[in-house]
Structure formats: C-alpha cells, structure tokens
Amino acid sequence: MADTEPVINKGLEGIYFAESSICKVDGQAGKLYYRGYSIEELCGNSDFSEVSYLLLNDKLPNGNELEGFRQQLADERYLPKSVVDFIKENSMRMHPMDTLRSAVSMLPAYDTEAYDNSPGSNMRKSVKLISKSASIAATIGRVRSGGDYVMPDQSMGHVESFLYMLNGRKPDPKTVKILDVMFIVHAEHSSNASTFGVIVAGSTLADIYAATTAGIAVLKGPLHGGADEAALEMMYNIGDPDNTEKYIEDALAGKQKIMGFGHRVYKTYDPRARIVKGYLEDLQTNGSGELKNLSQIALRAEKLMIDKLGASKGIWPNIDFFAGPVYVSLGIQHEIFTPIFAASRMSGWCAHMLEYWKNNRLLRPLEKYTGQVDLKYVRIEDRK
Amino acid sequence: MADTEPVINKGLEGIYFAESSICKVDGQAGKLYYRGYSIEELCGNSDFSEVSYLLLNDKLPNGNELEGFRQQLADERYLPKSVVDFIKENSMRMHPMDTLRSAVSMLPAYDTEAYDNSPGSNMRKSVKLISKSASIAATIGRVRSGGDYVMPDQSMGHVESFLYMLNGRKPDPKTVKILDVMFIVHAEHSSNASTFGVIVAGSTLADIYAATTAGIAVLKGPLHGGADEAALEMMYNIGDPDNTEKYIEDALAGKQKIMGFGHRVYKTYDPRARIVKGYLEDLQTNGSGELKNLSQIALRAEKLMIDKLGASKGIWPNIDFFAGPVYVSLGIQHEIFTPIFAASRMSGWCAHMLEYWKNNRLLRPLEKYTGQVDLKYVRIEDRK
C-alpha cells in the first residue's frame, strides 16, 4: 500500500476518525449543539456547571444531581500547596499556558485514585480537572498581578469562584453572568485540534491527566487558543475607531492574516461569535473610554471584513474576534484568556475522552516517505 | 458533506496526513530506515548522539559538526535546581512518566529563548530537550531508588552520562554500548501515536516544549510506550522457563492480548526486535540466574507465538517484547523503561516538528455526529 501513490490528507481536513454524540458543529447553517441543545438555548437558560454536567453525562441534571455536581466542583476547588508553590515560583518565568500545563500535569501526585482508570473514577477526575484547572488559571493570573493565592470559598458558584480567586474580591453578579456565558461558549467544539490531541493521547490508554495535559499543550498555539489575544492586539494597534477601515484594508492588501476570521468548519457566521458580539454592542452604547473605543473598533472591523470577505470568500468572524474585548470589559488580563479557554474546554475534553474510551482505538495515521533508502554509512573521516 | 454518510477511518488506520523524509517503516519487508540509513547500519556503526544529529539535520555530521553537537548535548546536561527539587518532591508520589512530563513541561521557565520560534532556536531547543530529557529520566530513577541528584560530568558521552546520573557511578563500556543501541532503536519510528501527538500540538504553532510535552503524555499509554514493561511483567509471571508454553497457550485460549506482539505497521518481524533479541541470545548462553531464566522465557515464548500466530495471522514480536529483559540485564529498573523510550524518541519528535513546521497545516479531523439536535431546554423542576 505504501508503494502505490497514497492520497495525502493535509491537516486531516474532511477526514472522519470516530463517531460522537457530544457536539454538532453545523458549519453550513452556523449552528452549534452540545448534546442536542443549541448554544443559544444553553447560554440563555443554563450555566457552566450545568453545561459541564450535560457534556459529561449526556443529560441535564435534576435538582439533586445538579446540587451534588456543584458540591463536587466546590470540594475540589482548593489547590495542593505544592501546586500553589510551583505557580508562585514559576509563573513569572513562563507563559501562563506553560504554567497551567505543568500544574495540571502534576495533579496526579495529589490524587489517591490517579491511576484507577475505571469509568467511575474517570468521571470523578473529570470534575476534579474542571474545578482545579479553573483555580489554577485564576491563581496564575492572581500571582502574575502581584497577588497571593486566594483560598477558595466553597459557597460560591464555579465562575464566581474563578473571579474571586483571580481578583481577591467577590465579583458582581453581572460580571459573573457574562463570564459564565464565555465559559459555556468555550466548553466544547467537537474534534478541534486540542480535543483531537486529548483523544490521541488517551487512545494509547494513557490516563485522563496525561490526555488533558496534552490538550493544554495543543491549545497553546496561536492558530488555536491564542487567536483571541492576537485579535485583541490588532484592535489595540488600530487604536482609534476612525483608523479601523484603513488598518484593515492595508492589512488585507498586504496579505496579512486577520486573526479571529475564518474557520475550518464554519463557512458562515459562528453562532458563538453572535452571542459574544451582543456584549460588545452593549459596550459600544454604554461603555466608556477604552471599552467604547475597543468595541467600536471590533464592530467596524467586523462590518468591513464581512463586506469584503464574508459572502464572497466564506470568511466570517469567529468567536476569537469578539472574546478579547469582552474579557477586557470584565477586567481580565490578556494573558489569562487562553487559560480561561482551557479551563472551560476541560469539560469538553473530559467528555470526549470518557466517550472515546468506550470504544477505544489507537490513533496512528501515516506519513508518506519521500526520502531515500539503503544509504551506506560513510566513515566520519570520509564525510564532507 | 457532513450530511452524506461519511466514511469513518477508525484509528486513522491507512490515512496519510503528510509527507516526511525522516523515517521509512517498511512493514511488509520488515525494514526500518532513519534518513535513508537502515537501522542495522546505524546500530552497527553509529551511536545515539550521531543518530540524533542525523535525524535533526538530514545528514551524517563531519568530525567538527559531531564534536560540536556532542559538546552542546554535554553543555545542556545539568538540570535547573527547581526541576531537581520538583523531582525530589514529587517523584515518589506519581508515575515516572508523569514526573518526566511535568519536568519537561516546566523547562521553558529556564530557557531565555523559550519563545523564539525561529528554526535556529528550535534546533538549539531540540538539542536541549534531547539532553535534558535524558537527565530528567535518570534523575527520576535515581531519586526513586533513594539516591540524590548526580551532577553530570561534561566529559562523558550522552548514554554514559545517563547511566552515571541514574546510578551515581561510571558505567562499564559494554553496558553503555548496549544501552546506546537501545536509545538508537527507540529514537524514531515515523508517525506513531506519540510523534503524531507532537505534530498535532505543534500544528497549532504551539512551541516545541508544548509539542514534546504532549508527546510524553501520549507515550505514557500501555498501548504505546508502556508495552515493554507489560511484556516483562508477563515473563516474571511465567517465572520458570518450563512454564512458558503452558502459560502462553492458556493466555491465547483465554483471548488475552500478549503484549509485545503485533504491530499496526509491521506485518513481519520488527527489525528492531531482531537487533535486541541478539542480546538475549547472548544472555541465554552467558547470563546467570534470573537473567538466564528471563531470556529463556522470552525466547521460548517468542518461538511459540511465531509458530501459532506469525505466518498465519501476521502477528510477530515487536521491539517491546525483548526490550524489558535487556534493560534488566543492564541493571535498569522497570519503571524507567518508558522514560528511556521518551528520552530516546525526543530526537525523532523534534526532527518531525522541525520538518512539519516548514509546511505547517493545522490538524483538525472530524467526528461523525450521532446525537440529536434542537432539544428544548427543560426547567430543572420538570426534569426526572
């Protein structure tokens, strides 16, 4: 087989590797479903804890189940002292995603059932990972801003606790609500690169800590998790709303990639982007100073890009384009955007791993060899 | 496209995702080439340092180049104090592969050019990763045996240094030579699951630390890096050479998987297994006690398995079957087998990443959605 001419599926685009009942991304219609519920339905009615339960368990919880799940999240919220010490010692020395990856990687040292790979244990570890990854992300942001570890308050909700551990003060309900929606829209997106990376790792029967650590590694890349920060940076470079159109036109003329536009799957408007854009429309009207400017820049840039590339080239805004200014409006520093993405997507990663292990198959595709064979070893004296 | 019936390529078996000139695995002929040189040619003439240079640079080094490369490896051998402290504090609390993964993950904190993604910097970081991953693996073994970190000796060769840091004493040349061959045969094997995981991570333009950390996560799984330890465990369970045939026959009758046999690509004898088997044949004749027993068990089990499954089912021994007893003969504890695999494969991982980035494409395959859509959110009071 290797000696006929194989078809090379660059980027594995269009290749299916498994079945899944977790998430449907309908890139033509611009629809997104988690376990059958549209993203609009969930953002309008649910919260991140409930959505995490839904993703992991394939059903909405009843009252008792939801209460138990929230309690488990709250119980797991604290961080082992060694992990806190590691963050304090290293988080100024490396990228927050590197700190997050390393801190999650060391969690099995503090889990007595780390190597129990039964489904029940993996479900418990999933809750632990969802809870602790948020605490780690918050603590990294906290320490990088000069603060100390904030002991979690078990009476708070998941996203409320994240903000409390990040800022050291109880957040207002409106901030919690908006950030909760950001967590929901980032919780899952079928087999994108990081989720695929999680499954590649898990497919060797490596455990869920190894698999999700791999996911954080994958998510770091600017073509994936880092796109929102890059899009925001562009908006800051534009600076003045009246500079928007010229900046974008120059960038397009110079063949620059505009981060936050275009998507491997969506060939129309990303439904998550529409939800998040709503907050910017509000800021454009009611925000002040930097926030008003930033939202105007984002909305004017979006309009121009759609006029130029939307219908004609199928390049539409995706969630990464609008996420940055919304985080800024919530007082969240840029470098924590991707860790928040990771802490949100932890739910999807764990859900996919639990599902894939029910019918596991080692992922091992092929490369076409283009080199030589049977070269003779040359003595070092005879080499050029 | 998503609404027609897609073909699902389970395990991505037979699917090509890229071209590569690094490694040819000819599974029909039982041949393995690194950069065009057969594995026999390299094991017979070269050493791991030179093979690493070859994998990274696509040519054998001349005298000056090899000397410079060895010097770089030696210069990078020390571990930052924080990494040593981390290993001391955590390595008794978690699996050595978890400690290795976490320790490699934190290396960017101690690399001033960690976030320079130029090819030159990535080449330097590759050498750093090859060097330090071996030091980390050795230190994990050392600490788990009750010893303290051994300061590396820059005058030693790479594998010699590994053994020195593992055992605290200068190894004999024969042990170094055999372990060097083990490093060579583990250095590269095309796009197997861990290398593929590295490329998935790197394809988002995450950096080489993120990518190789993902590789270590993938390698942990018993279907991949852990197979040699599992095969060895079976040999210990067999215990007495005369028990071999009955044990294997019972296991086959009970439909148990015999670790170390069968391979996704090799449908004949794994050429690496043949090289490693040579050491066991020597031990069978010249070894004493446990080693003589272990090698007899391995060779008798292999003979029976080939008679039963070789030609008829295409299930042949792979390298994992023979590696364990050879490591034991070199005095290496079981739990360090997979970390040694990782430290060897680091060369292949980095070579693949450097190559893939020249023509990068985000890896993002698809899952076929089998769930529902447009479910209506039900109020929690109304759920069962």
Average of per-residue pLDDT values in chain B: 95
Phi first, then psi, for residue A20 (nearest 5°) are: -155, 145
> Which position among A95, A224, A282, A334 bears the catalytic label?
A224
pLDDT of residue A2: 47
Mutate to test the interface with A, among B111, B200, B356, B358 (most CBs of A within 10 A): B200
The tens digit of pLDDT for each residue in B310-347 reads 778 888 988 999 999 999 999 999 999 999 999 999 99
**In the structure encoding, which two tokens stand for residue B303, read together?**
């003979």
pLDDT of residue B198: 98
The tens digit of pLDDT for each residue in B131-162 reads 999 999 999 999 999 999 999 999 999 999 99
What dihedral angle (degrees, nearest 10) is formed by the CA atoms of B183, B188, B194, B195?
140
A70 interaction partners in chain B (CB closer than 8 Å): none
Average of per-residue pLDDT values in chain A: 95
Q: Which of A203, A324, A211 is nearest to A260 (CA)?
A: A324
A207 touches chain B (CB under 8 A): yes
Contact B14 A24 (CB under 8 A): no
Phi first, then psi, for residue B368 (nearest 5°) are: -85, 125
The tens digit of pLDDT for each residue in A112-123 reads 999 999 999 999
B15 touches chain A (CB under 8 A): yes
pLDDT of residue A57: 98
Catalytic residue check, B263: yes
Q: How confident is the model at residue A313 (pLDDT cuts 50, 70, 90)?
A: confident
| Alpha helix (H) residue ranges in chain A | 39-45, 48-57, 63-75, 81-90, 96-105, 119-144, 158-167, 173-186, 193-202, 208-219, 227-238, 244-253, 271-286, 289-305, 311-313, 319-329, 337-357
| Separation CA A105–CA A114 (nearest Å) | 12
Which chain B residue lies closest to A108 (C-alpha atoms)? B94
> Is the four-CA dihedral B196, B202, B206, B212 of positive or negative sign?
positive
B310 touches chain A (CB under 8 A): no
B328 touches chain A (CB under 8 A): no
Q: Which of B11, B41, B191 lies closest to A377 in CB terms?
A: B41
**Residue pair B69/B55 in contact by the 8 Å Cβ criterion:** no
Catalytic residue check, B334: no
User: What do you get for the CA distance between the two ends of chain A, in Å?
Assistant: 37
The residue that leads in pLDDT, A259 or B158, is B158
Question: What is residue A145's three-state secondary structure?
Answer: coil
- Which percentage of chain B shows pLDDT scores above 90? 87
Residues A256-277: what's their mean pLDDT?
90
The tens digit of pLDDT for each residue in B210-242 reads 999 999 999 999 887 778 888 999 999 999 999
The third-level CATH classification (topology) of the domain covering B23-224+339-358 is Citrate Synthase; domain 1 (1.10.580)
Catalytic residue check, A352: no
B264 interaction partners in chain A (CB closer than 8 Å): 362, 364
pLDDT of residue A93: 96
Q: Distances from the Cα of B50 to the Cαs of B127, B185, B279, in angstroms?
A: 12, 13, 22
**Residue pair A39/A48 in contact by the 8 Å Cβ criterion:** no
Q: Tell me the residues of chain A between 137 and 176 that have a Cβ less than 8 Å away from chain B.
A: none
pLDDT of residue A3: 54
Q: Distances from the Cα of A284 to the Cαs of A281, A300, B214, B228, in angstroms?
A: 5, 11, 41, 61
Q: Report the range of poorest mean pLDDT among A267-271, B122-126, B370-374, B376-380.
A: A267-271
pTM: 0.96
pLDDT of residue B3: 54
The tens digit of pLDDT for each residue in B285-301 reads 888 888 999 999 999 99
B20 touches chain A (CB under 8 A): yes
Contact A37 B383 (CB under 8 A): no
Which stretches does DSSP call E strand in chain B? 16-20, 23-26, 31-34, 37-38, 366-369
List every span in chain B annotated with CATH 1.10.230.10. Answer: 227-329
Q: Which of A177, A37, A61, A53 is nearest to B377 (CA)?
A: A37
A62 touches chain B (CB under 8 A): yes
The tens digit of pLDDT for each residue in A82-93 reads 999 999 999 999
B95 interaction partners in chain A (CB closer than 8 Å): 108, 114-115
Residue whose token pair is 């919220």: A77
Angstroms from A336 CA to nearest CA on chain B: 16
B380 interaction partners in chain A (CB closer than 8 Å): 60-63, 66
Q: How confident is the model at residue A289 (pLDDT cuts 50, 70, 90)?
A: confident
Angstroms from B43 CA to nearest CA on chain A: 11
Q: How many residues does chain A have?
A: 384
Residues A195-223: what's their mean pLDDT?
96
Give the angle B375-B380-B381 at the CA atoms, nearest 5°: 125
**In the structure encoding, which two tokens stand for residue B156, read together?**
């030693």
pLDDT of A12 above 70 = yes
The tens digit of pLDDT for each residue in B235-285 reads 999 999 999 999 999 999 999 888 889 887 888 899 999 999 999 999 998
Contact B196 A101 (CB under 8 A): no
B335 touches chain A (CB under 8 A): no
Residues B54-63: what's their mean pLDDT?
97
pLDDT of residue A1: 45
Q: May I ask the CATH architecture of the domain B227-329? A: Orthogonal Bundle (1.10)
pLDDT of residue B225: 76
pLDDT of residue B289: 87
pLDDT of residue A262: 85
pLDDT of A265 above 90 = no
DSSP state of A309: I
CA neighbours closer than 13 Å in the CB half-sphere of residue B185: 23
Cβ pairs bridging A and B (under 8 Å): 383
pLDDT of A100 above 80 = yes
A45 interaction partners in chain B (CB closer than 8 Å): 377
Q: Which of A149, A140, A168 is nearest to A78 (CA)?
A: A149
- Which percentage of chain B shows pLDDT scores above 70? 99
| Separation CA A325–CA A294 (nearest Å) | 6
Contact A196 B60 (CB under 8 A): no
| Separation CA A287–CA A192 (nearest Å) | 34
Q: How many residues does chain B have?
A: 384
List every span in chain B annotated with CATH 1.10.580.10. Answer: 23-224+339-358
Residues A3-7: what's their mean pLDDT?
79
The ipTM value here is 0.95
Residues B54-80: what's their mean pLDDT?
98
Q: Distances from the Cα of A262 to the Cαs of A34, A255, B148, in angstroms?
A: 22, 14, 53
pLDDT of residue B2: 47
